[in-house]
Amino acid sequence: MYRAVLIIRILINSFVYLFDKRIPLRYKVIPYLALLYCISPLDLIPEIRLFGLGYIDDIFVLTLSFNYFRKKCIKYLDSLDDQEVIDAEFKVIDEEVADEEEK
């Protein structure tokens, strides 16, 4: 049961990242390729001969690719956050205060 909830959470988070404008297109292609694999007639385990057992490889590929996509998006967004932050020290110098200190 826990595994099913985890898979559903991964899929929901992945769909959120799919429509995020900050995520580049090269990452957004990953889930589409997985969906293309699921609808393609080429499979590791054929669906027709094994009475539904062939869908296991499709579910596995979907879960694996969406999890990979989610991890890549999280890593990419974290790298964006790291680039926007500048850690620096500063000192405000007022001209009037500077003139008084010189005297």
Question: How many Cβ atoms from other residues are within 10 Å of residue 17's Cβ?
Answer: 20
Question: How many Cβ atoms from other residues are within 10 Å of residue 99's Cβ?
Answer: 9
What are the residue ranges spanned by the domains of the chain?
2-84
- Residues in contact with 69: Cβ distance below 8 Å, sequence separation at least 6, in sequence order: 14, 17, 27, 28, 30, 31
In this structure, are residues 43 and 98 in contact, taking their beta carbons and an 8 Å threshold? no
Question: Which residues does the chain have with pLDDT short of 70?
Answer: 1, 45-50, 81-87, 90, 94-103
- Which residue bears the tokens 């005297």? 103
Percent of the chain exceeding pLDDT 70 equals: 72
**What pLDDT sits at residue 47?**
66
Q: What is the DSSP letter of 20?
A: -
**What pLDDT sits at residue 72?**
93
pTM of model > 0.85 = no
- pLDDT per residue over 36-46, tens digit each? 888 887 777 66
